[in-house]
Structure 1
Amino acid sequence: MKLLWKMRFILRDYWKHYLLAFISLQAVAVLNQLPPWLIGRVVDEITIDGLTSQELLLYIASIIVIAIAIYGLRYVWRSLLYGASIDLVRSQRDRLFAHFTRMSPDFYQKHTTGDLMAHATNDLNAVEESAGGGIMTLVDSVIAGVTVLAAMIFVVSGKLTLLVLIPFPILIWATSHYGTAMHKTFGKAQASFSNLNEEARETVTGIRAVRAHELNKRQEQRFYDLSRETVTANQKVARIESLFGPTINLFFGLSFVIALMGGAWLIQRGEMTLGLLTSFTLYLGQLLSPMMQFGWQFSVFQRGNASWKRLEILFNQKPTVTDAATATEAPANHDLAFDIQSFQYPQAGAPVLNNIKLLAPAGSFIGITGRTGGGKSSLFRLLQRQFNLDSGSSITLGGIAIDQIKLKSLRSQMAWVPQEPMLFFGTIADNIALSRPDATQEEIEQAARLAAIHDEISHFTDGYQTLLGENGINLSGGQKQRVAFARALLTDASILLLDDAFSALDMKTEAAILKNLSAYRNAKTILLITQRLPELITADQILVIDEGTIKEQGTHDELLDRPDWYARIFRQQARTLLVNREGTTDTLPINEPPSLVSA
């Protein structure tokens, strides 16, 4: 009942379905009482030798008509209840998915993908069973039980009815006790399934790494162990669930014994006929079904309650990054200004950025470099408002603080290309046009040309209609980066964020993209994070970030004149490229920009 109370605001949208179903159930319950009464009449008339063939046929025809009516009404209430429960869970699944898309990154730091998938499948399936089969059995058992008891009391014998109900209080206590245990064990079973789901997802997603490092046996063993944990947890659920039926049958067997003994005694006293005892035992048999349903319903609702509690935990979590009440649309001016006094991630032990000041006029090219782990990518995450800025810090777009700009409007001004791009199941064309599904084939191909991937796509058998596997598994790392780059260019956003977006490319391909990017800069602001310093030669401003602070800042020529990290690393990389040109086999993982020779 707790589950129904929690879901009352959802269930009320389907009140017409449930009302019609309950009326049909009541009609079925009443009609079910007629056959036992008719059979009792037949037995009594046979006993006194007064049953004619015509009367027998009439009784049989009546029972057949009643059975057909019950058949039709049962179809009505089942279709209404199950149809409503399916649509109800569909709406909750949509709600859950929309909730996932609105949540901030810190939400996904707390929950694994496998756990969220288990919520969206197993938990919602358990809720669906409660909203459909659970409510059906609850109402059916109540309506049928009350109707049968009324027939037993008022049609047959109130005395005998009281006698057969003696074991029922103990039966109710036992089923309630089983239900409490079921709730605890089912919650653990769902949690173990989440872990199993996540293990399977990680293995399939990282299958290349698993095979490359010969981790097959290790992953098989991990999955085996988690699978056994899941089986053990579900076996505990099954053992408790299996107690309901035998317990109910045991107490009903006792009730039947009482009915036969009490009925015989009442017949001897002349207070009951053999036909009425026959009707009574048939009514008692009908009461068994609601009680069995009552026990099963306990199991279903405990499963649903445990799953709903897990879902409530998700629904009650709110995104930490939201639109301010006074938020406006993004301005036409795209000048960027960073003034970050300090920033640290939620639950982190120390700040990742300190004293970051940067002005990036619209149309400028800003290069960001430094050692790995220095905090460079955090700038992009803050600019996109994946996290809120700490007090005292600000980032402005066109002079307006980004937390005063609507999220959708702010992010629509930016196109982001990460080092490890995410490609979705679908065609190459679909992936390029992800944020512009209305883009023409010509526009898609133009973006691919700018990203230096058009020729390779054209050589595929299906061209732009080539179907990609999960995360583009049938493409190389460089091809995936360029498809993501084409996607970013197609958005025609005002600000292009490139987070080590050329790391998987060869020198020739990178040179072609940088040349195209140079023309693209005319009306766009470009922020490029890279470890390859030759890519930054033409940057309007370069930042060297290390340990969360700006260690160096200036143009390429200005930084090259200083005896610091940038000048030292740039010269090392430049010498490596020159040595490689002379035919030496030693290479370093850096790319050759189109302007390096002149540099």
Structure 2
Amino acid sequence: MKLLWKMRFILRDYWKHYLLAFISLQAVAVLNQLPPWLIGRVVDEITLDGLTTQELMMYIAGIMVIAIAIYGLRYVWRSLLYGASIDLVRSQRDRLFAHFTRMSPDFYQKHTAGDLMAHATNDLNAVEESAGGGIMTLVDSVIAGFTVLAAMVFAVSGKLTLLVLIPFPILIWATGKYGTTMHKTFGRAQASFSNLNEEARETVTGIRAVRAHELNKRQEQRFHELSRETVAANQKVARIESIFGPTINLFFGLSFVIALMGGAWLIQQGEMTLGLLTSFTLYLGQLLSPMMQFGWQFSVFQRGNASWSRLESLFNQKPSVSDAPDAVEAPANHDLAFDIQSFHYPMADTPVLSNIKLQAPAGSFIGITGRTGGGKSSLFRLLQRQFNLDSGSAITLGGIAIDQIQLKSLRSQMAWVPQEPMLFSGTIAENIAMSKPDASREEIEQAARLAAVHEDITRFTDSYNTILGENGINLSGGQKQRVAFARALLSNANILLLDDAFSALDMKTEATILKNLSAYKNRKTILLITQRLPELITADHILVIDEGTIKEQGTHDELLDRPEWYARIFKQQARTLLMENKDTIDSRSFNDSSTLVSA
């Protein structure tokens, strides 16, 4: 009943389905009482030698008509109940998926993908069983049980009914104890399934690394151990479930013994006929079914209650980043300004960024570099409002603080290309067009050409219609980066965020893309994070970020004149670049930026 109370606001949307189903159930319960009564009449008439063939045929015909009516009514209530439960769970599955898409990154730091998939599958399936079969058996057992009891009391004998009900309070107490244990045990079983699900997902996703490092046996052993834990947890659930049936049968066997002994005594006293005792035992047999159903639905509801509690814990979590009540649309002016006093990730004590000040006028090219782990990518995550800024810090777009701009509007101004891009199941064309679903094939191909991936795509047998595996597993790292880059260009966003987006590319392909990208200069704001400093030669402003703070900043030429990290690393990379291209580049100084651009 706790589960039904928790789900009351969802169930009320389907009240018509449930009401009609319950009316059908009540009709079935009433009709079920007629055959035992008719059979009792037949027995009494046979005992008195008063049954004619014509009367027997009428009794048989009546029972057949009742059976057909019950058949039709059962079809009606099953269709209504199970149809409603399926639609109910569909709506909750949609709600859960929408909830996942709205949650902030810190939510996904707390929950693994395997755990969330288990919630969306196993837990919702348990809820569906409760909303359909569980409610059906609950109502059926209540309606049928009370209807049978009424028939036993008013059509046969109230005394005998009271006698056979003596074992029932103990039965109800026992099933309550089993149910409490079931709730805890099933919750642990669902949690173990989540762990197993996550292990399978990680292995399949990282199959290249598993094979490359010969981790097959290790992963098989880990999966085997988790599988055993899951089986053991579910076996505990099965052992508890298996107690319900024998317990109910035991008490019903006792009730049947009481019925026969009490009925025989009442017949001897002249208070009951053999036909009535026959009807009574048939009614008692009908009472067994609701009680068995009661035991089964108790198990179903305990499963559903445990699963719904797990789902509620997800639904109750709110995104840490959301629109302000007075949030506005993104302005037409796309000047960016960063003033970050400090920023801490949730539950972290050490700031990731501190004292970051930057002006990025619309149409400018800003380069960001520095040692790995210095906090560069965190800057992009804050600009996209994946996390809230610490108090006293601000990032503005067109003079408006980004936390006062609607999230959807803010993010529509940006196209982000991460170092490890995410590709989805579908064709290459569909992946590129995700940023603009109504794009024509010509627009898709033009974006691919600018990303220097068009020729690679056309080499596939199905060209742009090539189906990609999970996360583009049939593409190389460089091809995936360029497909993601084409997607970003197709979006026509005003701000391009390139987070080490060329790390998997060779120098020639990188140079081609940078040349194509130069056509967007003064039209789009470009923020490029990179470890390859020659990419930043044409940047309007360059930041060197290390340990979360700006160590150097200025133009390429200004930074090159200073004997610090940027100049030292640039010269090392430039020397390597010139050595690799010594056949095409003369011995001019690698301090000459134009030489490196041509390289």
Classify the TM-score, shorter chain: over 0.9
Match of 1:218 in 2: 218
Per the TM alignment, residue 561 of structure 1 is displaced from its structure 2 partner at its CA by 0.3
Per the alignment, residue 490 of structure 1 pairs with 490
Three-state SS of the structure 1 residue aligned to 2:166 is coil
Residues 1:93 and 2:84 are matched in the alignment: no
Residues 417 and 498 in structure 1, CA contact (< 8 A), matched pair in contact too: yes
TM-score, normalised on structure 1?
0.98
Q: Secondary structure at the match of 1:534?
A: helix
Q: What displacement does 1:349 show?
A: 2.3
Equivalent residue, structure 2, for 1:587: none
Indicate the residue corresponding to 1:78 in structure 2.
78
- The one-letter code matched in structure 2 to 1:215 is L
CA distance in structure 2 between the partners assigned to 1:433 and 1:387 by the alignment:
27
SS in 2 for 1:497: strand
Aligned pairs for 1:78-477 (under 5 A) are 78-477=78-477
Segments of 4+ moved more than 4 angstroms: 592-595
Match of 1:588 in 2: none
Q: Which residue of 1 aligns with 2:14?
A: 14
Task: Please give the alpha-carbon distance, in whole angstroms, between the structure 2 residues aligned to 1:128 and 1:524.
Answer: 50
Q: Which amino acid aligns with 2:26?
A: Q
Residue matched to 1:513: 513
How far apart in 2 are the matches of 1:282 and 1:575? Answer: 97
Shift in Å, 1:598: 6.2
Give the AA of the match of 1:278.
T
Distance 2:554 2:594 in 1: 21
Seen in structure 2, the aligned counterparts of structure 1 residues 53 and 595 have a Cα distance that, compared at 3 Å, is farther
- Gap change, CA 1:598 and 1:475, over 3 Å in 2: closer
For 2:385 and 2:22, locate their aligned partners in 1 and report how far apart those are by CA, in whole Å. Answer: 50
Secondary structure in 2 matching 1:498:
strand
Deviation at 1:578, TM superposition (A): 1.7
Structure 1 residue 507: Cα displacement: 1.0
SS state at 2:553 partner:
strand
Distance in 1 separating the partners of 2:436 and 2:418: 19
Q: For residue 571 of structure 1, what is the aligned residue in structure 2?
A: 571
1:409 corresponds to which letter in structure 2?
Answer: S
User: TM-score of the superposition, structure 2-length normalised?
Assistant: 0.98
- Supply the AA of the counterpart residue of 2:313: I
Q: Is the 2:417–2:498 Cα contact (8 Å) retained in structure 1?
A: yes
Distance 1:594 1:221, change over 3 A: farther
- Once residues 541 and 583 of structure 1 are traced to their aligned partners in structure 2, the CA distance between those partners, rounded to angstroms, is 32
Q: Indicate how the Cα distance of structure 1 residues 597 and 58 shifts in structure 2: closer, same or farther if over 3 A, else same.
A: closer
Distance 1:374 1:427 in 2: 36
Deviation at 1:367, TM superposition (A): 0.2
| Residue 502, structure 1, aligned to residue 519, structure 2 | no
Number of residues of Structure 1 aligned to a counterpart in Structure 2 = 592
CA distance in 2, matches of 1:33, 1:348: 68
Q: Verify the 8 A CA contact 1:443 1:490 in the aligned structure 2.
A: yes
Residues 502-581 of structure 1: matches in 2 within 5 Å? 502-581=502-581
Q: Provide closer, same or farther for how the CA distance between residues 548 and 77 of structure 1 changes in structure 2, counting only shifts above 3 A.
A: same
Q: Matches of 2:457 and 2:36 in 1, distance apart?
A: 75
User: Matched residue of 2:337: which SS?
Assistant: strand
> 1:231-262: per-residue Cα shift (whole Å, max 9, x none)?
00000000000000000000000000000000
Would the aligned equivalents of 1:450 and 1:513 in 2 still touch at CA under 8 Å?
yes
* Counterpart position of 1:29: 29
C-alpha change, 1:597 and 1:345, in structure 2 (3 Å) is closer
- Partners of 1:222 and 1:10 lie apart in 2 by 40
The residue type paired with residue 25 of structure 2 is: L
- Residue 557 of structure 1 and its aligned partner are, at CA, apart by 0.3
Q: 1:519-568 CA distances to partner (integer Å, 9 max, x unpaired)?
A: 12231000000000000000000000000000000000000000100000
8 Å CA contact 1:514, 1:594 repeated in 2: no
Q: Secondary structure at the match of 2:225?
A: helix
Q: 1:583 Cα deviation (Å)? A: 7.3
Seen in structure 2, the aligned counterparts of structure 1 residues 594 and 37 have a Cα distance that, compared at 3 Å, is: farther
Change (3 A) 1:289 1:370: same
- Cα displacement string for residues 63-98 of structure 1 (whole angstroms, at most 9, x for unaligned residues): 000000000000000000000000000000000000
What residue is the counterpart of 2:589 in the other structure?
A: none
Q: Contact conserved, 1:352 with 1:547, CA < 8 A, in 2?
A: yes
Distance across 2 between alignment mates of 1:407 and 1:329: 9
| Counterpart for residue 587 of structure 2 | none
- Determine the C-alpha separation between the residues in 1 that align with 2:218 and 2:305: 36
Indicate the residue corresponding to 2:5 in structure 1.
Answer: 5
- 2:265 alignment partner AA: W
Per the TM alignment, residue 580 of structure 1 is displaced from its structure 2 partner at its CA by: 2.1
Secondary structure of 1:126's counterpart equals helix
Question: What is the distance in 2 between the residues matched to 1:215 and 1:364?
Answer: 47
1: CA distance, partners of 2:414 / 2:593: 24
- Confirm or deny: 8 A CA contact 2:330 2:410 kept in the other structure: yes
Amino acid at match of 2:260: L
- Distance in 1, Cα, partners of 2:187 & 2:415: 42
Measured at CA, do residues 377 and 463 of structure 1 come closer, stay the same or move farther in structure 2, by a change above 3 Å?
same
Unaligned runs of 5+ in 1: 585-591
**TM-fit CA distance, 1:443:** 0.4
| Matched position secondary structure for 2:196 | helix
- Whole-angstrom CA distance in 2 between matches of 1:531 and 1:597: 16
* Structure 2 residue identity aligned to 1:434: M
Moved more, 455-464 or 146-155: 455-464
| Residues 511 and 594, structure 1, Cα contact 8 Å, conserved in 2 | no
Identity %: 89
Work out whether residues 418 and 498 of structure 1, in 8 Å CA contact, stay in contact via their aligned partners in 2: yes
- Deviation, 1:594, is 7.9
